[in-house]
Structures are given as C-alpha cells and as structure tokens.
Amino acid sequence: MSELQIYLIVIGLVVILLVLGFNWFQDRRVRQRMQAQMPVIEQDPLLTESGAIGDARREPGLGGFSAGGINVSERISASEHPDGLLDAQEPDPSTEIVIEIAFQGPMLGEDLLPLVHPLRTAGRKAVRIFAQDTEGQLHPAIDAGVSYDAVHLAVLLANRSGALSAIEWSQIWNRAQSLAEQLECSIEGPDQQKVLDLASRLDDMCAGLDTQVGLTLLMGANHPVSDVTNAAENMGFVPANGQLVWLGEYGLVCFSLARSDAESFDAGMAGVDRLSLLLDVPCSPADTRAFGKMVDVGFELARRVGAELVDDQGRPVQQGSDAVIDERLKTLYQQLEQAGLAAGSPRARRVFA
C-alpha cells in the first residue's frame, strides 16, 4: 500500500469521525431542548396507591380516579390567553417533535401547498405544518402568494391512540425525506429512539389524567330522531359531526349528546330509545360545576323527551348527587393545570384526541 493511499485512508477516517461527532452534538442539543420543555414528574402517574404499575394508556373513565394524582415540579408554559385557550402560533416542544425541511431558495405558497398536503398525518397522530417565511417567521397557515424558505412539521408525540410508534415516526420521516429529495433540499430531525422515548414519557403522564364521565337517558321506547333533535336544539344544543354539543365560553364544547347506537343524528329516520351525555374532562373547559351542569341539562332533556336519567351503572341519578363528582373533578383540573395540560386548552385537545 502506497504512502498516498495511507494518507487518504487516514483523512477519510478523520472526516467520518467529524461527521459522527457533529451528528451526536446535534442530537444532544435537540434532546436537551425537548427535555427542558417537558415536565419533571416526581411520582409516576401510572403507580397506584399500593405501588403497583397500572395499565398503559387505558380507556378514559371516572372509575379508579384517585385524588392523589401526580406531582409536577416544572410546569409546561401555557398559551397566552386569559383562560389559556388560544393556541401558540408555533410548534409545541412539550407535545410535538419537529422535522425541518429547508429549501434551496424561496418557494411560493401556491407551489408548496400541494406538496405538504400528504404530510398532515403520521398514522393516527396529527402533524401540524408551519411555514417559515423569508424573514424567519413561522406561520400556521400557508398563503398562496407568500414566499417561504422552510417548513416545520410538528408531529404529535401522543394521543388517545397511544404514544407515537416507530412505524408512525418512520412513515412521516420517509414522506418528509421524499419531499426533501424531490426539492433537492435539506432535512433535519431528531434520532428515532429519542423521539420514541419522549413519546412514551408524554403518554405515561397523560394516562393518569384521562377522564370521561357519562350519563344515559333511557326513553323506554323508540322516539323519532327528529323529535329528540328538536328537543335538544330548542334547549341550546348545537349540531357537530353527527352529535349535538353544549357550548360554553369561547365556543368550546362542555359536553356532548350522542345516540347510544353510535349512529349519527343525521343518519336516516329510524327511532332511538337511549341517548348518551358525555363530559370529556381534559377536552372541556374547567368548571366548578362541570358535571353538575351536565346533570341539570340531562334532567331537563329527560323531562322533554320522557326519559329517565341514569349513571354509567344504570342507577337513576338523584338530585344533588353531582356535587361529589364535581369535587373530584376539581382535583383533576388542578392536576391537568400543573402538568401544563389545562382542561380545554388546544394542547390538551390535541393530546386527548
């Protein structure tokens, strides 16, 4: 082997080591930035009072709700709003991971829009797309007439389907990489294992906070769907995605009314003999009488349609029984607030979707 070949081999090894070192530094910087935004949990939310490990991301429900909850020593900052209900106009580092695609030069929004459309989901996780204009400002919507020099893909780390999986991450990464290759531009993102670790951590925290409370209206016999719909709408319910919802301040859903057969209120003319009222605690705004208000509305609707209001055990709901559950929900609202997932906030609605 000639002296020149030896020199070339040595130079090649040095270049490889420099590239590996740079990648390690970039990954470490991303991880530190993400961890700085995540809450530090002193007590595992999946531990029961006896210390046993609970189920990973169970179906939400009131049963088994503990007043103990979790302790969070570092709170995730909430969006700026009197009630914390407006979304930040940028990716959320505490619940999303970012893939950045930087173009070689400015690109018009009208050309960019069809290219990023396939990037809006990663399996069962939502992906928010932010476009960076030529002045470095991020925008949550792409304007056809504006030029951009990069897009940031904010991939949700966890929701009610569970933590972001390796398959879901690979899916969105491969799509983003294909776009980068198509445009001959650069792409940056964190290491997969670090993404999965952050996703698992967020999912574990949310599992102990996921609560829904339901009531049922038993009508005894089939009632025309139109009669039920008219009665509910006359009380103030509003149609939404085949259900009827009760809105509070800022147009947020407080609780919903659905057919117990899971059919849409718009589906055909068949009758219905039972209805379901549901309070989705993390996704509805905090209220000292959140459950009590749903009970009040439930009693009135039951009177109008000739039904009996029962709990999830099939027992008739008694006047005044809502106070106990509302007291328990106050603790949960506090836990959600401490975890940076204020009830009804955009962040909570994304994670508990």
Per the domain annotation, does 139 fall within a domain? yes
Together in a domain, 217 and 286: yes
Together in a domain, 167 and 277: no
300, burial (CB in 10 Å: exposed 0-12, middle 13-18, buried 19+): middle
Per the domain annotation, does 44 fall within a domain? no
Domain boundary among 151, 174, 207: 207
Domain boundary among 157, 191, 207: 207
Per the domain annotation, does 123 fall within a domain? yes
Mind listing the pLDDT tens digit of every residue in the chain (353 residues)?
677 667 777 787 777 776 666 555 555 543 444 334 333 333 333 222 323 323 344 444 443 333 223 222 223 333 334 445 566 689 999 999 999 999 999 999 999 999 999 999 999 999 999 999 999 999 999 999 999 999 999 999 999 999 999 999 999 999 999 999 999 999 999 999 999 999 999 999 999 999 999 999 999 888 899 999 999 999 999 999 889 999 988 789 999 999 988 889 887 667 899 999 999 999 999 999 999 999 999 999 999 999 999 998 999 998 888 999 999 999 999 999 999 999 999 999 999 99
Specify the pTM.
Answer: 0.74
Together in a domain, 284 and 222: yes
CA distance 328 to 254: 17
> What domain range is 255 assigned to?
212-351
* Total count of domains within the chain: 3
Residue 27 has a CB neighbour count (10 Å cut-off) of 15
Per the domain annotation, does 72 fall within a domain? no
Together in a domain, 219 and 192: no
Domain boundary among 207, 240, 262: 207
Together in a domain, 233 and 344: yes
Helix (H) or strand (E) holding 245: strand 243-247
Together in a domain, 288 and 334: yes
